[in-house]
Chains A and B, each alone.
Chain A
Amino acid sequence: GENVEQHPSTLSVQEGDSAVIKCTYSDSASNYFPWYKQELGKRPQLIIDIRSNVGEKKDQRIAVTLNKTAKHFSLHITETQPEDSAVYFCAATPHYKLSFGAGTTVTVRA
């Protein structure tokens, strides 16, 4: 089955700086890569996703890049704000079942 590794496990950034989270996956058949943000006590919410037919996708301050050859994908958050503080999860799937990374706790320092 698919195995997703996520790094780093914790990330502390100064407000206004950029944050980058990286994930690698094992199954070359995976073709869908969503990112979820989970605030304390809340449900995971999809923030951006990318499919295997594109290499990059951007939505305002958030971007995701995908390198299918190397089997890794990354989340980039620019101009970080205190409300970006949360746990972020990457995931991958070739079918329907998502395989999640272990999560990255992002703290934005004011």
Chain B
Amino acid sequence: EADIYQTPRYLVIGTGKKITLECSQTMGHDKMYWYQQDPGMELHLIHYSYGVNSTEKGDLSSESTVSRIRTEHFPLTLESARPSHTSQYLCASSDRKQGVPDTQYFGPGTRLTVL
């Protein structure tokens, strides 16, 4: 079934650790996004990609980095986790058809806690 997958779903980690949040989609979409969201609060775009080897920073400054080596895979890495990184991270993807924006679909999210 076409979907967006994120792993891990929950992560508790100590300060200073390097972590990678995985996101994969089988939607066949070319565009992918990472959002940071505190529970029930506003969605903040932190990174996006229009295709392979394309990555851009979003509207909210983030210490994380991303890569897009394969169309279906868009991992997010924190080199040194801090308590201020505690949040939920949502991955999304979309496609463009006939020149108009298409729907963004979201993954289930990763709930990150940094102690």
> Contact residues of A with B, CB < 8 Å?
1, 31-32, 34, 36, 38, 40, 42-46, 49, 51, 87, 89, 93, 95-103, 105
Q: What number of residue pairs across chains A and B have CB atoms under 8 A from each other?
A: 52
Distance between Cα atoms of A4 and B107 in the complex (Å): 23
* Shortest beta-carbon distance from B66 to chain A in Å: 15
Interface flag for B13 (CB, 8 Å): no
Chain B contacts for A96, CB-based, 8 A: 31, 48, 50, 94, 96, 101
Residue with the greatest number of chain B CB neighbours at <10 A, chosen from A34, A89, A97:
A97
Q: How far is the CA of A1 from the CA of B100 in the complex (A)?
A: 18
- Report yes or no: B45 in contact with A43, Cβ–Cβ below 8 A: no
Q: Which residues of B contact A36 (CB under 8 A)?
A: 106
Smallest CB–CB gap between B9 and chain A, Å?
A: 11
Task: List, in ascending order, chain B residues with CB within 8 A of A40's CB.
Answer: 39-40
- Of all chain A residues, the one with the shortest Cβ separation from B30 is A96
**A1, B101: Cβ atoms under 8 Å?**
no
Smallest CB gap from B59: residue in A:
A1
Q: Of all chain B residues, which has the CB nearest A46?
A: B103
Please report the C-alpha to C-alpha distance between residue A97 and residue B31 in the assembled complex, in whole angstroms: 10
Q: Which of B41, B45, B90 contacts A97 (CB 8 A)?
A: B45
Whether B48 lies near A102 (C-beta < 8 A) is no
- Does A103 lie within 8 Å of B107, measured CB to CB? no
Contact pick for A44, options B39, B96, B106, CB 8 Å: B106
In Å, the complex CA distance between A91 and B103 comes to 11
CA–CA, A103 to B44, complex, Å? 12
Closest to B90 in A: A43
Closest to A42 in B: B108
Specify the chain A residue showing the minimal Cβ separation from B41.
A103
B42 on the A face (CB < 8 A)? yes
Tell which of A43, A45, A46, A87 touches B40, judged by Cβ atoms closer than 8 Å: A87
* Residues of chain A contacted by B48 (CB below 8 angstroms): 96-97
Given contacts A43-B90, A96-B31, A96-B94, contact A32 B100 (CB under 8 A): yes
Taking a contact as CB atoms under 8 Å apart, the answer to whether A103 and B42 are in contact is: yes
